[in-house]
Structure formats: structure tokens, C-alpha cells
Amino acid sequence: MNQNPNVFLNSKKLKLFLASNSPRRKDLLQKAGFEFQTYPVKVSEFLDKNLNLDDGVKQIARQKAVAAYSELILSKSQDFLVLASDTLVVLNGEVFGKPENKDQAFEFLRRLSGQTHTVKTAVCMIDASKKEACEIESSLVTFRNLTDDEIWCYIETGDPMDKAGAYGIQSVGATFISKLDGSLDNVMGLSISLVKGMIDKNGWTVHQRTI
């Protein structure tokens, strides 16, 4: 029988804290049956130019996790696991973050039109004993050709303004996509299969509800 030996070392159930206020990430965790509390933190989301993209996005996710850990540990809580995540959209090596204004949102979507881009989502977890794990998953997304009118109509809904690459795959932005290679959850901002795999691999046990 193949049992993870860490399971017996960390059998106590941990309270899960999501270091984010993202409605997409909250929805994904809820639908997966996790019990958790949101604990949003503010950190710099600028990529370190000295790191490659994978390491850079993992570093941002880790900074969020560490910030939440540092505050939670002060409350003398001993049985917690922090989950933090960060998502980037990359086209031909160029990073598209959250648009600063409508014109930039238009520029992003116009350039993504008819192209295949990569969505990278990093996940970092830290427990109360400072044990941590950070991993990343990538998905390939291909947009059909978009007209300027439909791009502007989408921008006017306000949906693109808080999303990397200026689109959300769980809303109208899904109609722009002609092909997806990889996890839909990952494009939405949190790969649930990655989260579950990391929890299992590290022997963590968290509270879950019946679904």
C-alpha cells in the first residue's frame, strides 16, 4: 500500500486561510468542498526581472503567503495552512497583468486576438510550523479573432479590469476562446487539482465540507 509517510506526522486538521479576496478563487475552493477563511493581504505584484517567469510568479505567490503567515502567527494560532496564488498571462514572452485603464484593456485584448497565450498560476502554501511548498501550473489559451466593437462592449461591462490579461474565462471572456490546452481552473486563477496534490504530497489535512 502506497501511503504518504507525512500523513502520520501531520494528521491534525488545519484551518485553511486563502490569502486573497478574489471571488474566482473563493468560488473554486468552495465548489471543491474546502472549508476556509479569506485573509487578503497587500504585497507588491511586480515581477523580479532577475528571475525567469515561473520563478517570478512563484515569488509573488510566496510573498502573499508569507505576509498572511506573519500576521496569523501573531494571533498564536497553531493549526493553520495559508494558501496564496498569483496568475500571469504571457504572450510571446511579454507579461499582461491587470489593465490599468480601459485603453490598456483594449490593447491587451487586441493583441491576444487570434493568438495563443500562456496562463501561469503559482500556488504557495505555508503552515504554522513554517513548512512551505510552492508550485506552478501553465495552460495554453487560444483566442479567436476579435472585432474592435466586441472588445469595447466587453470592456464596458467592467469585467476585464481586475483580471490578468483583461479577461475572465468564467464570464463573457469565455466566448473569445477557440481552444484551451490545460486546466480551466488554472486559467480562472487557482488549479484545484494542483492544490489537492500539494496538500496530499505534504501530508497536510484540512477541513472539508460534504458536497
pLDDT 10s digits, 183-206: 999 999 999 999 999 999 999 999
| Helices 192-201 + 23-31 axis angle, to 10 | 60
What confidence category does residue 171 fall into, taking pLDDT thresholds of 50, 70 and 90? Answer: confident
**Dihedral sign, Cα of residue 163, residue 166, residue 167, residue 172:** positive
Residue-wise pLDDT tens digits, 32-51: 999 999 999 988 888 888 89
Query: Is there a domain that residue 211 lies in?
Result: no
Nearest C-alpha neighbor of 193 from the set 31, 14, 15:
31
Quick one: which of 4, 45, 38 has its CA closest to 21? 38
Over residues 50-67, mean pLDDT: 95
> Which tens digits make up the pLDDT trace of 120-138?
999 999 999 999 999 999 9
Position 89 in a domain: yes
pLDDT at 5 over 50: no
* Confidence at 170, pLDDT banded by 50, 70, 90: confident
Strand partners, 91: 94
Q: Counting beta carbons within 10 angstroms of the beta carbon of residue 156, is it exposed (0 to 12), middle (13 to 18) or buried (19 or more)?
A: exposed
Q: Which domain holds residue 152?
A: 5-206
CATH code at 82? 3.90.950.10
Using an 8 Å Cβ cutoff, are 197 and 6 in contact?
Answer: no
Cell digits of residue 192: 484545484
Question: For strand 13-18 and strand 205-206, is the pairing parallel, antiparallel, or unpaired?
Answer: parallel
Least confident of 71-75, 81-85, 86-90: 71-75
**Distance (Å, whole) CA 115 – CA 179:** 10
Out of 48, 55, 86, 148, which one is annotated catalytic? 86
Q: Name the band, by pLDDT with cuts 50, 70 and 90, for residue 76.
A: low
- Which 3-state string (H, E, C) describes 56-113? HHHHHHHHHHHHHHHHHHHCCCCCEEEEEEEEEEEECCEEECCCCCHHHHHHHHHHHC
- Please report, for residues 97, 145, 176, 210, the alpha-carbon distance to residue 162 in angstroms, rounded to integers and kept in the order given: 9, 23, 18, 31
152 found inside a domain: yes
In a domain, 44, yes or no: yes
Mean pLDDT for 62-75 is 93
> How many structural domains are present in the chain?
1
| 54 is an active site residue | no
